[in-house]
Structure 1
Amino acid sequence: MSSDPNRPNIVLVLADNLGWGELGCYGGGILRGAATPRIDELATEGLLLHNFSVESDCVPTRSALMTGRHPIRTGCRQSVPAGFPQGLTEWEETLAECLKENDYATAHHGKWHLGDIPGRYPSDRGFDTWFGIPRTSDETQFTSAIGYTPKVAELPYIMKGTAGQGSENVCIYDLDKRRLIDEMLVEQTKDWLTKRVEEQEAFFLYHPLVHLHFPTLPHKDFAGTTGQGEFADSMAEMDYRLGQIIDHVDNLGVRENTIFIFASDNGPEFRPPYRGTAGPWSGTYHTAMEGSLRVPFIIRWPGRIPASTTSNQIVHVTDIFTTILSMTGSRVPSDRPIDGVDQTRFFEKPTEIKSPRTGFLFYIKEELRAIKWKDWKLHYIWEPKVNKSSGRLESPYLFNTVRVRDPKEETDILAYNTWVLQPMMKLKGEFDKSLKNDPAPPDPLKQL
């Protein structure tokens, strides 16, 4: 552990497919079939963001979090099946690598989804150790699917690895293990944190939960506990697992000098029966709607970030990379464009200081779908629901996303607010120029 306030410990917990409207502190909770008391309590201990934005799905967001760079730069634009080239190239510098350079102990317990071959596992990318899954949880359905055989599609595994020693399979990741994995991950985390405190090491723990990704199946101890089905039971388990990590950090006596972050990787699932909700916002992941962009985000840092505070200022997932490096006094890579901005001062004084970010461009794969600037949203391609696209718009749609005006993006007001195009086109021009000077790797699915 670290007791040096200039070298705080970091615990970063990322939920999978958790929509803005699921948690009690975001207007969901018991209204969604499962109370979330531990997450709600965490929100009262720090800063809750209403306008934290991510990328379109699992891989793009995780790459942005680990590099501070939009996936249009890194090539991590979409989820890719096993056996295809995927993940972060060797040239990218990860958050773990930058913190490791600053003598932080690092661990990854959970879902990686940024590389599934030697050289691209977490233990190859700055993490001392890792335990979890290299890709995603829908693969747990393989072994019970009609016609499946390992001869045509690789078996999924829970894996582990140590830096310098490679990674290895632990067990097959099937539907039974799907119900157990979040419990397994928490046990790994508790053991690792205990050792770091005993050895008095500054630490960075990245714990990407598996819940609530489909198939959304709860541990047997939570099955039937809500009376509202497996999705709600899984919500209850997710809340409990986060509470276990919080309690362990606090009981180890490192609460005061530990930055604790809880967020989601993207908006909610759109497929029944695992469909989630984004609350007042429209859309799910894989769209450019606010329900895809906005997700929960809570940060606690006792004595530095005020408790019981909320903000609607814009923060982007790339900012977390830059901000954590700033908070820990670590080096930010200077030999490449970094899209994340430092939010440290805003986080510390959210009622006095505005976020230094005014907006961002939103891509899905190679397509620029939308530009967000302050309370305004410009859509170039209209796809309010997944696979319901009307294609590229001759005249883009413009919405004001303030909740009392048009949170569901239903009324195009571009004709009456063409002035908004000026700051948006300036943002786009600067980004386009940067992309031209920093070309991305080719699409993985086009490399074979």
Structure 2
Amino acid sequence: MAGLLAAGPAASQVAKPKQPNVLFILADNLGYGELGVYGGGALRGAPTPRIDKLASEGLRLTNMNMEPQCTPSRSAMLTGRHAIRSGTYAVPFGGVAEGLTQWEVTLAESLSEAGYATALYGKWHLGSHDGRLPNDQGFDEWYGIPRTTNEAMWHDTPGYSPEHMRPEYILEGRKGGKSREVKVYDMEQRRLLDAEVTRRSIDFMERQARAGKPFFAFASLTQPHLPTVPHPAFAGKTGNGDWADMLAEMDHNVGQMLDAVERLRIRDNTVVIFVSDNGAEFIKPWEGWAGPWRGAYFTAWEGGIRVPFMIRWPGRVPAARVSDEIVHGVDLFTTLAGFAHAKVPHDRPIDGVDQAGFFLGKTDKSAREGILIWVDNRLQAVKWRNYKVHFYQQDTMTSPAERLPIPHVFNLYENPREDEGKRAYTSWVLGPMLKMVNAFNASVKKYPLIPMGTPDPYQPPGLP
């Protein structure tokens, strides 16, 4: 970890404000339309009262944007940098050095340096070998899977043998040591993992509350990523199938963590965030629902990038507030570091902007007007205010991405489904959009992108 800039005056000059705890709950492939407060819930076979109540207790966003895949979105949230910069712009499929280089500074590293206890439980997907696991990237402890949930299905595939492809293991590790293999991640463990994530997250919060130490608890749930199956205790609970049972379980697990915050009497000094890593699941028969938006993950359609988001901080984030202002996942690093009086890197481009003023209700406006949208290593689209331009046509994750001879412009207020037959012929909006693109390209000339598969140790070109 290198290149950190102090967030404010030295401690000797001013009294340091109390640092809030952070409970960060991340769902995996939860579409915009799944939760009750976003138009789903009972319409999807299972009400979500606990998550809906959480949304009413703080700020709920209707224009929260993520990268369109699991690995890029996690990279962006934890580094404050678009994944294209870090060589993490696509889900890795082996054969290269996976995940974040150790040169990257994660939110966990920043908060740890600021005195936080840090833990991640659940899915990581930013490196699957020692040196690139959570306990190597700022987390004091972790338990979960290094890659992805669909690998649990390997064991039931005809002809599969560990001799041909080593299975994924649930791992456990602590900072300063190597991670150990706990058990094979199969379909039995797939059903059990989120309950264990919840249990361990609560235990971690209890330990830190007793110690009086601020904490960053990252509860990285594996649901509803395929295969979408519930815990045995929830199987058949709704009578509406596995998807609804899973949704009921997720709501229960979130409720358990919120109850722990209440029980520990740390509610007023705990920032709680609930968000999805990208848009809806696409693979049948587990496909999710993006609500009013077109598309699913792995695409630049709104259904691939627009996700549920809510943040609660009693007395600081005004309750019962809903906003359609544009926010991006990269902003969470910068904003949470500010809340924690932590440090952010100054020796590299940081794409996240500090949304504290907006989140805390000091302004009705987001600190950004637009976002750049990559799919793999292609700049596929740009959003600015209520307009969006696509440079490529790609309908689904299995469709080829075809460069458009003329960019397609949409007014998302008039055409939220991004219907090609209702394109907006207002080319003036390309001006501010291309200004954003040009600014990014200029930064790349000064700070080259890290190629995917770059091994450690990494140092940017031109630095000693």
TM-score for both structures, normalised by structure 1: 0.96
- Report whether the alignment pairs 1:358 with 2:369: yes
Task: Give the counterpart letter for 1:72 in structure 2.
Answer: I
Q: 1:233 to 1:316 in 2, by over 3 A?
A: same
Partner residue of 1:30?
42
- Report whether the alignment pairs 1:161 with 2:170: no
Partner of residue 194 from structure 1, selected from 206, 214, 226: 206
Partner residue of 2:91?
79
Q: 1:154 to 1:89 in 2, by over 3 A?
A: same
Query: What SS does the aligned partner of 1:432 have?
Result: helix
Q: Distance in 1 between matches of 2:137 and 2:98?
A: 14
Partner residue of 2:453?
444
Deviation at 1:82, TM superposition (A): 4.8
Q: 1:57 to 1:415 in 2, by over 3 A?
A: closer
Partner residue of 2:307?
295
Q: 1:326 to 1:445 in 2, by over 3 A?
A: closer
Contact 1:398 / 1:413 at 8 angstroms: preserved in 2? no
Partner residue of 1:281?
293
Deviation at 1:246, TM superposition (A): 0.6
Contact 1:82 / 1:154 at 8 angstroms: preserved in 2? no
Partner of residue 235 from structure 2, selected from 218, 223, 231: 223
Partner residue of 2:425?
416
Partner residue of 1:399?
410
Partner of residue 93 from structure 1, selected from 105, 108, 115: 105
Deviation at 1:85, TM superposition (A): 1.6
Partner residue of 2:461?
none
* Stretch deviating more after TM superposition (280-289 or 427-436): 427-436
Q: 1:31 to 1:358 in 2, by over 3 A?
A: same
1:88-237 aligned within 5 A: 88-237=100-249
Task: Give the counterpart letter for 2:66 in structure 1.
Answer: V
Q: 1:83 to 1:116 in 2, by over 3 A?
A: farther
Structure 1's unaligned 5+ residue stretches are none
Q: 1:82 to 1:172 in 2, by over 3 A?
A: farther
Q: Distance in 2 between matches of 1:149 and 1:118?
A: 24
Deviation at 1:226, TM superposition (A): 1.2
Residue deviations 1:39-98, cap 9 Å, x none?
001011110000000001100000001100001100001111356421100110000000
Task: Give the counterpart letter for 2:347 in structure 1.
Answer: D
Deviation at 1:250, TM superposition (A): 1.2
Q: 1:415 to 1:21 in 2, by over 3 A?
A: closer
1:321-360 aligned within 5 A: 321-349=333-361, 352-360=363-371
Q: Distance in 2 between matches of 1:65 and 1:415?
A: 32
- Report whether the alignment pairs 1:386 with 2:397: yes
Q: Distance in 1 between matches of 2:98 and 2:377?
A: 16
Residue deviations 1:203-234, cap 9 Å, x none?
11111101111101101111011111101110
Partner residue of 2:10?
none
Contact 2:64 / 2:328 at 8 angstroms: preserved in 1? yes
Query: What SS does the aligned partner of 1:86 have?
Result: coil
Contact 1:397 / 1:413 at 8 angstroms: preserved in 2? no
Contact 1:80 / 1:445 at 8 angstroms: preserved in 2? no
Q: Distance in 2 between matches of 1:77 and 1:411?
A: 27
- Report whether the alignment pairs 1:434 with 2:443: yes
After superposition, the CA RMSD in angstroms is 1.6
Contact 1:9 / 1:202 at 8 angstroms: preserved in 2? yes
Q: Distance in 1 between matches of 2:260 and 2:373?
A: 37
Partner residue of 1:309?
321
- Report whether the alignment pairs 1:61 with 2:70: no
Contact 2:87 / 2:454 at 8 angstroms: preserved in 1? no
Partner residue of 2:385?
374
Q: Distance in 2 between matches of 1:294 and 1:5?
A: 34
Q: Distance in 1 between matches of 2:400 and 2:135?
A: 39
- Aligned length, in residue pairs: 441
Partner residue of 2:24?
12
* Stretch deviating more after TM superposition (238-247 or 411-420): 411-420
Q: Distance in 2 between matches of 1:343 and 1:265?
A: 19
Task: Give the counterpart letter for 1:139 in structure 2.
Answer: E
Q: Distance in 2 between matches of 1:56 and 1:415?
A: 24
- Report whether the alignment pairs 1:319 with 2:331: yes
Contact 1:6 / 1:327 at 8 angstroms: preserved in 2? no
Q: Distance in 2 between matches of 1:411 and 1:216?
A: 32
Task: Give the counterpart letter for 1:198 in structure 2.
Answer: R
Deviation at 1:445, TM superposition (A): 10
Deviation at 1:437, TM superposition (A): 1.6
Q: 1:267 to 1:249 in 2, by over 3 A?
A: same
Q: Distance in 2 between matches of 1:315 and 1:188?
A: 30
Deviation at 1:412, TM superposition (A): 6.0
Task: Give the counterpart letter for 1:384 in structure 2.
Answer: D
Q: Distance in 2 between matches of 1:255 and 1:75?
A: 37
Q: Distance in 1 between matches of 2:96 and 2:401?
A: 30
Structure 2's unaligned 5+ residue stretches are 1-15, 457-464
Query: What SS does the aligned partner of 2:224 have?
Result: coil
Deviation at 1:388, TM superposition (A): 3.1
Q: Distance in 2 between matches of 1:77 and 1:96?
A: 20
Q: Distance in 1 between matches of 2:115 and 2:421?
A: 51
Contact 1:82 / 1:116 at 8 angstroms: preserved in 2? no
Deviation at 1:24, TM superposition (A): 0.2
Partner residue of 1:425?
434
Q: 1:445 to 1:342 in 2, by over 3 A?
A: closer
